Amino acid sequence: MGPGKDPGHAPVGVLIVNDSATVRASLRMALGGAEGIAVVGEASGGVEALELVRKRSPDLVLLDVVMSGMDGYAATRAIMAEAPTPIVLMSGVVDTRDVATAMEALRAGALAIVEQLPPRDDPSYRSRVEALARLCRAMSRVRMRPAPPPAVPVVPRARRPEDGRVAAIGVVASTGGPPVLAEILGAMPTRGLPPILVVQHIAAGFVDGFAQWLGRTTGHDVRVAGDGARAAPGTVWIAPHDRHLRAARDGALILGDDPPVGHFRPSGDALLRSLAPFGAEAIGLVLSGMGEDGAEGAATLAAAGGIIVAQDEASAAVWGMPQAAVRRGCVTRSLPPAGIASWLLDRVGVAARA
């Protein structure tokens, strides 16, 4: 197996890394019976995991976030430095420190984070195993890239007269999104920006910690959106778990329990469609992620006069969502994260962070 195998014909070789023998056995049993998956090894910690990655060249590493000794963040950094391999993080009950570890691991190169599987007698067990197997198969096909070079300082040009007012920015992201969001916001000033509304697909239990991590990392005022809250300028609003996030023209945030859109709740399509009444005063960003969420909403917003910017293929961990928007013909520009930040600064008319 390894990087040269054809994922359409050979099973995906998964290395399970968890310091609990019980959890490793449970995962081995679950994935061992899943279509297209072969468990090629187990490790009880990060050091052993790195050794097995070198020896067995798995197609994907399923890595626990919280482990004694080398935690998920340190293990991710070591693997990505010595033998870059697709990594999916797995976590049970989380607290703020666990989330911070997971977010730093995502920033270091891990692709996604999922919850631990429920007990075998749980009604959702079979569907959760199938979802995990699908994710493993999809993530194993991601071509791992070396760490990007240091970002070029963002220096905006003078604001053009035709730019006009920007009242709201909507962002849709999934796999590979958190580090991109951090990079873009980290280049932006903490004052003078319009409200930024974000749908980031992330595992249940991680939204609050993700918002806290993003705020600490970038210095921005990042909050989990509440129903009826006012989308104040200079604030980044994150969609809560399992609730749609929409914005009213008067600046009120609206949370919805209506059915998922394209299997997603929160849905990027729902967010971007809600910005259509803003017309030319709205910007939509479609960042790294699997699937097509955001593409339909981006097309609706563009038809109303909004501007759509997508992450480019070269910089995206997974180009599925940006590619879907590009294929709709609604994307004005495809840019890497630093380019998106530079373009936003130019468009909004604010100076780059010193």
pLDDT tens digits, one per residue of 184-223: 999 999 999 999 999 999 988 899 999 999 999 999 999 9
Q: Which superfamily does 12-139 belong to?
A: Response regulator (3.40.50.2300)
Catalytic residues: 174, 201, 293
Domain(s) of CATH 3.40.50.2300: residues in the chain: 12-139
Residue 34's pLDDT band (cuts 50, 70, 90) = very high
**Structural contact between residues 59 and 84, judged by C-beta atoms closer than 8 angstroms:** no
Summarised one tens digit per residue, pLDDT across range 7-26 is: 456 899 999 999 999 999 99
pTM: 0.89
Summarised one tens digit per residue, pLDDT across range 281-328 is: 999 999 999 999 999 999 999 999 999 999 999 999 999 999 999 999
Average pLDDT of every residue of the chain: 90
**Close Cβ partners of 77 (under 8 Å, ≥ 6 residues apart):** 105, 108, 109
Domain(s) of CATH 3.40.50.180: residues in the chain: 168-348
Scan for tokens 């910017």, then name that residue. Answer: 309
**Structural contact between residues 306 and 329, judged by C-beta atoms closer than 8 angstroms:** no
Q: What CATH code would you report for 168-348?
A: 3.40.50.180
